[in-house]
Amino acid sequence: MKRIALIAVILAILTGCSGGKTVFEGKIIGYNGEYTEFFLLNPEGEGYIEVPFDINEDGTFSAELEFARSEFDARLFVDRFMFCTCVEKGKKYYAEFDITEEGVETEFRFIGEGEKENAFTRDFWNTFGFTYAFLESAGQVDDFASYKKKIADTVDGFSKRIAETGNKPFIRFYEAKLAECADKYTVYYPYLYLSANGEIPSEADNEAYLAENDFKSYSDEQMAAILNEISGNVVYMHGLDMLKVMQIAENTCPVEYWNHFLMTSMLINRLNGAGPDGLEEAYEYYRSVVTDEGLYSQIAGNYEAARALAGGGTAPEIEFADLDGRKSTLADFKGKALYIDFWASWCKPCCEEIPHLEKLVQELGNDKDVRCISISIDEDERSWKKRLDEEKPSWPQYIATEKGQENISGIYQITSIPRFVLIDKDGKIITVNAPRPSELDAASLKALIK
Protein backbone atom coordinates (compact mmCIF):
# COMPACT_ATOMS: atom_id res chain seq x y z
CA MET A 1 0.00 0.00 0.00
CA LYS A 2 1.26 3.46 -0.89
CA ARG A 3 2.44 5.53 2.06
CA ILE A 4 0.94 8.99 2.25
CA ALA A 5 2.32 11.85 4.34
CA LEU A 6 0.07 13.01 7.15
CA ILE A 7 -0.92 16.65 7.27
CA ALA A 8 -2.53 18.93 9.84
CA VAL A 9 -6.00 19.64 8.51
CA ILE A 10 -6.14 23.02 6.89
CA LEU A 11 -8.66 23.88 4.18
CA ALA A 12 -6.96 23.43 0.76
CA ILE A 13 -8.73 24.06 -2.55
CA LEU A 14 -7.25 22.22 -5.51
CA THR A 15 -7.37 24.15 -8.75
CA GLY A 16 -6.40 24.37 -12.36
CA CYS A 17 -7.49 26.21 -15.47
CA SER A 18 -7.04 25.85 -19.20
CA GLY A 19 -9.23 26.19 -22.29
CA GLY A 20 -12.99 26.94 -22.50
CA LYS A 21 -14.77 30.16 -21.55
CA THR A 22 -17.46 30.94 -19.02
CA VAL A 23 -18.92 34.40 -18.47
CA PHE A 24 -19.50 35.22 -14.82
CA GLU A 25 -21.24 38.53 -14.11
CA GLY A 26 -22.94 40.01 -11.09
CA LYS A 27 -22.56 42.16 -8.01
CA ILE A 28 -21.12 41.93 -4.51
CA ILE A 29 -23.63 43.72 -2.29
CA GLY A 30 -21.91 45.79 0.39
CA TYR A 31 -18.55 45.74 -1.39
CA ASN A 32 -16.09 48.34 -0.10
CA GLY A 33 -12.76 47.40 -1.64
CA GLU A 34 -12.46 44.03 0.11
CA TYR A 35 -9.78 41.63 -1.05
CA THR A 36 -11.32 39.12 -3.47
CA GLU A 37 -10.12 35.75 -4.81
CA PHE A 38 -11.74 33.15 -7.04
CA PHE A 39 -10.67 29.50 -7.14
CA LEU A 40 -11.56 26.54 -9.30
CA LEU A 41 -11.48 22.92 -8.21
CA ASN A 42 -9.17 20.46 -9.94
CA PRO A 43 -9.16 17.01 -8.32
CA GLU A 44 -6.21 15.94 -10.45
CA GLY A 45 -3.97 18.82 -9.40
CA GLU A 46 -2.11 19.87 -6.27
CA GLY A 47 -2.07 23.23 -4.54
CA TYR A 48 -4.31 26.03 -5.74
CA ILE A 49 -4.19 28.87 -8.22
CA GLU A 50 -6.09 32.12 -8.00
CA VAL A 51 -8.16 32.94 -11.06
CA PRO A 52 -7.99 36.67 -11.97
CA PHE A 53 -11.23 38.23 -10.81
CA ASP A 54 -11.56 42.02 -10.88
CA ILE A 55 -14.26 43.91 -8.98
CA ASN A 56 -15.43 47.42 -9.86
CA GLU A 57 -15.72 50.08 -7.15
CA ASP A 58 -19.50 49.64 -7.04
CA GLY A 59 -19.15 45.89 -6.46
CA THR A 60 -20.10 44.81 -9.97
CA PHE A 61 -17.97 42.33 -11.87
CA SER A 62 -17.78 40.71 -15.27
CA ALA A 63 -15.24 37.92 -15.54
CA GLU A 64 -14.40 35.64 -18.43
CA LEU A 65 -13.17 32.40 -16.90
CA GLU A 66 -11.18 29.83 -18.83
CA PHE A 67 -10.98 26.22 -17.73
CA ALA A 68 -11.03 22.75 -19.21
CA ARG A 69 -14.24 21.46 -17.64
CA SER A 70 -17.21 22.44 -15.53
CA GLU A 71 -16.49 23.44 -11.93
CA PHE A 72 -19.13 22.20 -9.50
CA ASP A 73 -17.23 23.32 -6.40
CA ALA A 74 -15.80 26.73 -7.22
CA ARG A 75 -15.10 29.15 -4.38
CA LEU A 76 -15.37 32.93 -4.27
CA PHE A 77 -13.63 34.59 -1.32
CA VAL A 78 -14.49 38.18 -0.42
CA ASP A 79 -12.62 39.27 2.70
CA ARG A 80 -13.80 36.82 5.41
CA PHE A 81 -16.71 35.51 3.33
CA MET A 82 -16.55 32.29 1.33
CA PHE A 83 -19.16 31.40 -1.29
CA CYS A 84 -19.36 27.86 -2.69
CA THR A 85 -20.66 28.01 -6.24
CA CYS A 86 -21.13 25.99 -9.41
CA VAL A 87 -19.90 27.47 -12.71
CA GLU A 88 -20.04 25.23 -15.76
CA LYS A 89 -17.93 25.46 -18.87
CA GLY A 90 -19.30 27.60 -21.66
CA LYS A 91 -22.27 29.09 -19.80
CA LYS A 92 -23.16 32.63 -18.80
CA TYR A 93 -24.13 33.47 -15.22
CA TYR A 94 -25.44 36.40 -13.25
CA ALA A 95 -25.08 36.23 -9.46
CA GLU A 96 -25.39 38.46 -6.41
CA PHE A 97 -23.30 37.93 -3.26
CA ASP A 98 -24.24 39.68 -0.01
CA ILE A 99 -21.46 40.67 2.43
CA THR A 100 -23.46 43.16 4.45
CA GLU A 101 -23.78 40.69 7.35
CA GLU A 102 -20.99 38.75 9.03
CA GLY A 103 -20.65 35.18 7.80
CA VAL A 104 -18.43 32.56 6.22
CA GLU A 105 -20.57 30.54 3.85
CA THR A 106 -23.36 33.06 3.51
CA GLU A 107 -26.21 34.18 1.26
CA PHE A 108 -26.00 34.49 -2.50
CA ARG A 109 -28.26 33.87 -5.46
CA PHE A 110 -27.89 33.07 -9.13
CA ILE A 111 -30.55 34.52 -11.40
CA GLY A 112 -31.46 32.47 -14.46
CA GLU A 113 -28.73 30.07 -15.58
CA GLY A 114 -27.45 27.84 -12.79
CA GLU A 115 -30.13 28.92 -10.30
CA LYS A 116 -31.10 25.42 -9.10
CA GLU A 117 -27.55 24.09 -9.07
CA ASN A 118 -26.22 27.03 -7.07
CA ALA A 119 -29.12 27.05 -4.60
CA PHE A 120 -28.28 23.40 -3.92
CA THR A 121 -24.53 24.07 -3.72
CA ARG A 122 -25.05 26.90 -1.23
CA ASP A 123 -27.35 24.86 1.02
CA PHE A 124 -25.32 21.66 0.78
CA TRP A 125 -22.04 23.22 1.88
CA ASN A 126 -23.64 25.47 4.50
CA THR A 127 -25.39 22.62 6.30
CA PHE A 128 -23.80 19.30 5.34
CA GLY A 129 -20.81 19.47 3.00
CA PHE A 130 -18.45 21.06 5.49
CA THR A 131 -17.87 18.79 8.47
CA TYR A 132 -18.12 21.57 11.05
CA ALA A 133 -21.53 22.56 9.63
CA PHE A 134 -22.80 19.01 10.02
CA LEU A 135 -21.33 18.62 13.51
CA GLU A 136 -22.96 21.87 14.60
CA SER A 137 -26.35 20.61 13.42
CA ALA A 138 -25.94 16.99 14.58
CA GLY A 139 -27.46 17.79 17.98
CA GLN A 140 -27.78 15.26 20.77
CA VAL A 141 -26.18 11.87 20.07
CA ASP A 142 -28.26 9.15 21.74
CA ASP A 143 -27.57 5.91 19.88
CA PHE A 144 -26.02 4.71 16.65
CA ALA A 145 -29.30 3.75 14.94
CA SER A 146 -30.88 7.20 15.32
CA TYR A 147 -27.62 8.95 14.43
CA LYS A 148 -27.22 6.92 11.24
CA LYS A 149 -30.88 7.54 10.32
CA LYS A 150 -30.32 11.29 10.70
CA ILE A 151 -27.46 11.10 8.19
CA ALA A 152 -29.49 8.91 5.81
CA ASP A 153 -32.48 11.27 5.91
CA THR A 154 -30.25 14.25 5.15
CA VAL A 155 -28.60 12.44 2.24
CA ASP A 156 -32.01 11.41 0.90
CA GLY A 157 -33.28 14.99 1.02
CA PHE A 158 -30.27 16.33 -0.85
CA SER A 159 -30.43 13.48 -3.39
CA LYS A 160 -33.96 14.50 -4.33
CA ARG A 161 -32.87 18.10 -4.79
CA ILE A 162 -29.94 17.06 -6.98
CA ALA A 163 -32.28 15.01 -9.20
CA GLU A 164 -34.53 18.03 -9.67
CA THR A 165 -31.73 19.90 -11.46
CA GLY A 166 -31.71 17.36 -14.32
CA ASN A 167 -28.01 18.18 -14.72
CA LYS A 168 -26.36 14.76 -15.13
CA PRO A 169 -22.69 15.76 -14.57
CA PHE A 170 -23.75 17.86 -11.55
CA ILE A 171 -25.79 14.95 -10.21
CA ARG A 172 -22.83 12.53 -10.54
CA PHE A 173 -20.49 14.96 -8.80
CA TYR A 174 -22.72 15.59 -5.80
CA GLU A 175 -24.00 12.04 -5.45
CA ALA A 176 -20.34 11.08 -4.91
CA LYS A 177 -19.96 13.93 -2.39
CA LEU A 178 -23.04 12.77 -0.50
CA ALA A 179 -21.75 9.19 -0.34
CA GLU A 180 -18.40 10.39 1.00
CA CYS A 181 -20.10 12.58 3.62
CA ALA A 182 -22.28 9.67 4.75
CA ASP A 183 -19.20 7.44 5.14
CA LYS A 184 -17.06 9.87 7.10
CA TYR A 185 -19.85 11.30 9.26
CA THR A 186 -20.83 7.80 10.35
CA VAL A 187 -17.25 7.31 11.56
CA TYR A 188 -17.68 10.34 13.85
CA TYR A 189 -20.34 8.62 15.95
CA PRO A 190 -18.14 7.07 18.69
CA TYR A 191 -16.25 10.36 19.12
CA LEU A 192 -19.47 12.35 19.44
CA TYR A 193 -20.76 9.79 21.92
CA LEU A 194 -17.50 10.05 23.87
CA SER A 195 -17.80 13.84 23.89
CA ALA A 196 -21.36 13.68 25.22
CA ASN A 197 -20.99 10.80 27.68
CA GLY A 198 -17.31 10.50 28.56
CA GLU A 199 -17.27 6.85 27.51
CA ILE A 200 -16.66 4.80 24.36
CA PRO A 201 -19.99 3.44 23.08
CA SER A 202 -20.60 -0.29 23.13
CA GLU A 203 -23.26 -0.97 20.50
CA ALA A 204 -23.29 -4.04 18.28
CA ASP A 205 -24.61 -2.21 15.20
CA ASN A 206 -21.90 0.44 15.43
CA GLU A 207 -19.17 -2.15 15.91
CA ALA A 208 -20.52 -4.16 12.96
CA TYR A 209 -20.48 -1.07 10.75
CA LEU A 210 -16.86 -0.27 11.62
CA ALA A 211 -15.81 -3.90 11.10
CA GLU A 212 -17.39 -4.04 7.63
CA ASN A 213 -16.70 -0.58 6.21
CA ASP A 214 -13.29 -0.94 4.54
CA PHE A 215 -13.63 2.18 2.32
CA LYS A 216 -12.60 0.18 -0.75
CA SER A 217 -14.26 2.68 -3.10
CA TYR A 218 -11.67 5.34 -2.20
CA SER A 219 -8.15 5.73 -3.52
CA ASP A 220 -5.25 5.92 -1.07
CA GLU A 221 -5.12 9.68 -1.57
CA GLN A 222 -8.85 10.08 -0.91
CA MET A 223 -8.69 7.85 2.15
CA ALA A 224 -5.78 9.81 3.58
CA ALA A 225 -7.65 13.08 3.05
CA ILE A 226 -10.79 11.72 4.73
CA LEU A 227 -8.90 10.43 7.77
CA ASN A 228 -6.84 13.60 8.11
CA GLU A 229 -10.06 15.60 8.07
CA ILE A 230 -11.67 13.35 10.68
CA SER A 231 -8.66 13.66 12.97
CA GLY A 232 -8.51 17.42 12.54
CA ASN A 233 -12.10 17.78 13.71
CA VAL A 234 -12.10 15.17 16.45
CA VAL A 235 -9.10 16.50 18.36
CA TYR A 236 -10.84 19.85 18.81
CA MET A 237 -13.99 18.37 20.31
CA HIS A 238 -14.14 19.75 23.81
CA GLY A 239 -12.65 17.73 26.65
CA LEU A 240 -12.01 14.41 24.90
CA ASP A 241 -9.77 11.89 26.67
CA MET A 242 -7.04 11.31 24.09
CA LEU A 243 -6.36 7.79 25.33
CA LYS A 244 -9.97 6.88 24.54
CA VAL A 245 -9.67 8.69 21.21
CA MET A 246 -6.70 6.45 20.38
CA GLN A 247 -8.71 3.35 21.35
CA ILE A 248 -11.59 4.38 19.09
CA ALA A 249 -9.29 5.22 16.18
CA GLU A 250 -7.63 1.80 16.46
CA ASN A 251 -10.91 0.17 15.40
CA THR A 252 -12.08 2.54 12.66
CA CYS A 253 -12.06 -0.03 9.84
CA PRO A 254 -10.80 -3.57 9.06
CA VAL A 255 -7.57 -2.23 7.48
CA GLU A 256 -4.90 -1.97 10.18
CA TYR A 257 -2.74 0.49 8.25
CA TRP A 258 -5.55 3.03 8.01
CA ASN A 259 -6.36 2.69 11.70
CA HIS A 260 -2.71 3.38 12.57
CA PHE A 261 -2.64 6.21 10.04
CA LEU A 262 -5.63 7.80 11.78
CA MET A 263 -4.06 7.37 15.23
CA THR A 264 -0.91 9.09 14.00
CA SER A 265 -2.89 11.90 12.41
CA MET A 266 -4.88 12.37 15.62
CA LEU A 267 -1.69 12.86 17.64
CA ILE A 268 -0.12 15.20 15.09
CA ASN A 269 -3.21 17.42 15.00
CA ARG A 270 -3.55 17.36 18.78
CA LEU A 271 0.11 18.35 19.21
CA ASN A 272 -0.17 21.13 16.64
CA GLY A 273 -3.42 22.43 18.08
CA ALA A 274 -2.91 22.15 21.82
CA GLY A 275 0.62 21.07 22.63
CA PRO A 276 1.77 18.03 24.63
CA ASP A 277 -0.21 18.54 27.84
CA GLY A 278 -2.18 15.45 28.83
CA LEU A 279 -0.84 13.24 26.03
CA GLU A 280 1.46 10.91 27.97
CA GLU A 281 -0.96 7.99 28.31
CA ALA A 282 -2.27 8.39 24.78
CA TYR A 283 1.25 8.50 23.37
CA GLU A 284 2.34 5.42 25.30
CA TYR A 285 -0.71 3.54 24.04
CA TYR A 286 0.00 4.69 20.49
CA ARG A 287 3.58 3.39 20.68
CA SER A 288 2.36 0.02 21.99
CA VAL A 289 0.04 -0.34 18.99
CA VAL A 290 1.70 1.41 16.05
CA THR A 291 4.93 -0.30 15.01
CA ASP A 292 5.05 1.04 11.45
CA GLU A 293 8.22 3.17 11.41
CA GLY A 294 7.00 5.11 8.38
CA LEU A 295 4.06 6.40 10.41
CA TYR A 296 5.91 6.76 13.71
CA SER A 297 8.69 8.80 12.11
CA GLN A 298 6.14 11.44 11.16
CA ILE A 299 5.28 12.16 14.79
CA ALA A 300 8.40 11.35 16.82
CA GLY A 301 10.10 14.69 16.15
CA ASN A 302 6.85 16.62 16.66
CA TYR A 303 6.25 15.01 20.02
CA GLU A 304 9.75 15.65 21.34
CA ALA A 305 9.67 19.25 20.09
CA ALA A 306 6.29 19.78 21.75
CA ARG A 307 7.57 18.39 25.04
CA ALA A 308 10.20 21.12 25.01
CA LEU A 309 7.28 23.55 25.40
CA ALA A 310 6.10 21.93 28.60
CA GLY A 311 5.59 24.14 31.63
CA GLY A 312 8.71 25.50 33.31
CA GLY A 313 10.88 26.03 30.26
CA THR A 314 11.90 29.45 28.95
CA ALA A 315 9.41 30.73 26.37
CA PRO A 316 11.03 30.96 22.92
CA GLU A 317 11.09 34.50 21.57
CA ILE A 318 8.51 35.90 19.15
CA GLU A 319 8.88 39.16 17.22
CA PHE A 320 5.77 41.24 16.60
CA ALA A 321 4.80 44.82 15.74
CA ASP A 322 2.13 47.25 16.91
CA LEU A 323 -0.23 49.32 14.74
CA ASP A 324 2.52 51.87 14.15
CA GLY A 325 5.06 49.24 13.12
CA ARG A 326 7.14 49.35 16.32
CA LYS A 327 8.66 45.93 16.97
CA SER A 328 8.69 44.10 20.30
CA THR A 329 9.50 40.66 21.68
CA LEU A 330 8.25 38.70 24.67
CA ALA A 331 11.31 39.84 26.64
CA ASP A 332 9.91 43.37 26.61
CA PHE A 333 7.01 42.21 28.80
CA LYS A 334 8.90 40.55 31.64
CA GLY A 335 7.67 41.50 35.08
CA LYS A 336 4.07 40.47 34.49
CA ALA A 337 2.58 37.18 33.46
CA LEU A 338 1.39 37.23 29.83
CA TYR A 339 -1.88 35.79 28.56
CA ILE A 340 -1.29 35.70 24.80
CA ASP A 341 -4.09 35.40 22.26
CA PHE A 342 -2.88 34.05 18.89
CA TRP A 343 -5.55 34.83 16.31
CA ALA A 344 -6.29 36.17 12.80
CA SER A 345 -8.94 38.46 11.35
CA TRP A 346 -10.22 35.70 9.02
CA CYS A 347 -10.65 33.15 11.83
CA LYS A 348 -14.31 33.03 12.92
CA PRO A 349 -13.70 31.13 16.22
CA CYS A 350 -10.96 33.67 17.05
CA CYS A 351 -13.30 36.59 16.51
CA GLU A 352 -15.98 34.93 18.61
CA GLU A 353 -13.55 35.09 21.55
CA ILE A 354 -13.05 38.87 21.25
CA PRO A 355 -16.01 39.92 23.45
CA HIS A 356 -15.03 37.30 26.04
CA LEU A 357 -11.46 38.57 26.11
CA GLU A 358 -12.76 42.13 26.37
CA LYS A 359 -14.77 41.13 29.43
CA LEU A 360 -11.74 39.38 30.95
CA VAL A 361 -9.56 42.45 30.38
CA GLN A 362 -12.16 44.67 32.05
CA GLU A 363 -12.31 42.30 35.04
CA LEU A 364 -8.52 42.39 35.40
CA GLY A 365 -8.35 46.17 35.17
CA ASN A 366 -4.85 47.42 35.93
CA ASP A 367 -3.81 44.14 37.53
CA LYS A 368 -0.21 44.06 38.78
CA ASP A 369 0.26 40.35 38.05
CA VAL A 370 -0.98 39.66 34.53
CA ARG A 371 -1.31 41.36 31.17
CA CYS A 372 -3.34 40.29 28.11
CA ILE A 373 -2.05 40.84 24.58
CA SER A 374 -3.17 39.64 21.15
CA ILE A 375 -0.75 38.64 18.39
CA SER A 376 -2.27 38.27 14.95
CA ILE A 377 -0.85 35.86 12.38
CA ASP A 378 -2.57 37.72 9.52
CA GLU A 379 -0.45 37.93 6.39
CA ASP A 380 -2.57 40.82 5.11
CA GLU A 381 -1.98 43.73 7.49
CA ARG A 382 -4.94 45.63 6.00
CA SER A 383 -7.40 42.93 7.07
CA TRP A 384 -5.93 42.94 10.58
CA LYS A 385 -6.25 46.71 10.91
CA LYS A 386 -9.76 46.68 9.48
CA ARG A 387 -10.90 44.08 12.01
CA LEU A 388 -9.36 46.09 14.87
CA ASP A 389 -11.12 49.20 13.62
CA GLU A 390 -14.41 47.29 13.71
CA GLU A 391 -13.91 45.63 17.10
CA LYS A 392 -11.93 48.38 18.87
CA PRO A 393 -10.37 46.07 21.50
CA SER A 394 -9.07 47.82 24.60
CA TRP A 395 -5.95 45.66 25.17
CA PRO A 396 -2.61 45.78 23.27
CA GLN A 397 -2.72 44.47 19.70
CA TYR A 398 0.23 43.21 17.66
CA ILE A 399 0.88 41.43 14.39
CA ALA A 400 3.65 38.86 14.00
CA THR A 401 6.55 39.82 11.78
CA GLU A 402 7.81 37.36 9.18
CA LYS A 403 10.34 36.09 11.71
CA GLY A 404 7.65 35.93 14.37
CA GLN A 405 5.37 33.93 12.07
CA GLU A 406 8.14 31.37 11.61
CA ASN A 407 8.58 30.91 15.36
CA ILE A 408 4.85 30.71 16.02
CA SER A 409 4.28 27.94 13.49
CA GLY A 410 7.71 26.31 13.86
CA ILE A 411 8.97 26.48 17.45
CA TYR A 412 5.57 26.88 19.11
CA GLN A 413 3.97 24.52 16.56
CA ILE A 414 0.79 26.60 16.41
CA THR A 415 -0.88 25.58 13.17
CA SER A 416 -4.48 26.19 14.22
CA ILE A 417 -6.10 29.09 16.00
CA PRO A 418 -7.39 30.47 18.30
CA ARG A 419 -4.65 29.46 20.68
CA PHE A 420 -3.88 30.95 24.09
CA VAL A 421 -0.47 30.76 25.75
CA LEU A 422 0.32 31.69 29.35
CA ILE A 423 3.84 32.81 30.35
CA ASP A 424 4.93 33.80 33.87
CA LYS A 425 6.56 37.08 34.91
CA ASP A 426 10.04 35.60 34.43
CA GLY A 427 9.38 34.49 30.85
CA LYS A 428 8.81 30.82 31.73
CA ILE A 429 6.05 28.80 30.06
CA ILE A 430 3.06 28.01 32.25
CA THR A 431 1.10 26.38 29.43
CA VAL A 432 0.99 26.61 25.64
CA ASN A 433 -2.66 25.56 25.70
CA ALA A 434 -4.34 27.90 28.16
CA PRO A 435 -8.15 28.02 28.45
CA ARG A 436 -9.98 30.36 26.09
CA PRO A 437 -11.40 33.64 27.46
CA SER A 438 -14.89 32.17 27.09
CA GLU A 439 -13.83 29.57 29.70
CA LEU A 440 -12.13 32.02 32.10
CA ASP A 441 -12.70 34.82 34.54
CA ALA A 442 -10.10 36.98 36.23
CA ALA A 443 -9.90 34.83 39.34
CA SER A 444 -9.37 31.55 37.44
CA LEU A 445 -6.74 33.15 35.19
CA LYS A 446 -4.81 34.46 38.19
CA ALA A 447 -5.03 31.04 39.82
CA LEU A 448 -3.18 29.58 36.80
CA ILE A 449 -0.19 31.87 37.29
CA LYS A 450 0.35 31.16 41.00
Q: 240-298: per-residue pLDDT in tens?
A: 899 999 999 999 999 999 999 999 999 988 877 776 777 889 989 999 999 888 888 88
d(Cα 196, Cα 215) in Å, to the nearest integer? Answer: 27
Tell me whether the omega of the peptide bond preceding residue 418 falls within 30 degrees of 0, making it cis: yes
- The whole-number average pLDDT for the span 166-172 is 94
Q: Is 14 a domain residue?
A: no
The contacts of residue 349 (CB under 8 Å, 6+ apart) are 417, 418
Mark whether 104 and 29 lie in a shared domain.
Answer: yes
The pLDDT value given to residue 36: 84
Residues 161 and 283 in one domain: yes
- 274 and 323 both lie in a single domain: no
> What's the chain's average pLDDT?
85
Q: Whole-model pTM?
A: 0.70
Q: Give yes or no: residues 154 and 283 share one domain.
A: yes
- Who contacts 324 (Cβ-Cβ below 8 Å, separation ≥6)? none
Q: For the chain, what is the domain count?
A: 3
Do 51 and 103 lie in a common domain? yes
Those residues whose C-beta lies under 8 Å from the C-beta of residue 416, and which sit 6 or more positions away, are 8, 10, 236, 269, 272, 273
* Confidence band for 126, pLDDT divided at 50, 70 and 90: confident
Enclosing domain of residue 339? 319-448
Residue 1: pLDDT over 50: no
Taking only the tens place, the pLDDT of each residue in 382-437 is 989 999 998 999 999 999 999 999 989 888 878 788 999 999 999 999 988 899 99
Do 186 and 148 lie in one domain? The reply is yes
Q: Is residue 113 located within the same domain as residue 158?
A: no
Residue 11 has pLDDT above 70, yes or no: no
**CATH number for the domain harbouring residue 86:** 2.60.40
Backbone angles phi, psi at 370, to 5 degrees: -145, 145
On whether the CB atoms of residues 420 and 436 are closer than 8 A, the answer is yes
Residue 276 and residue 151 in one domain: yes
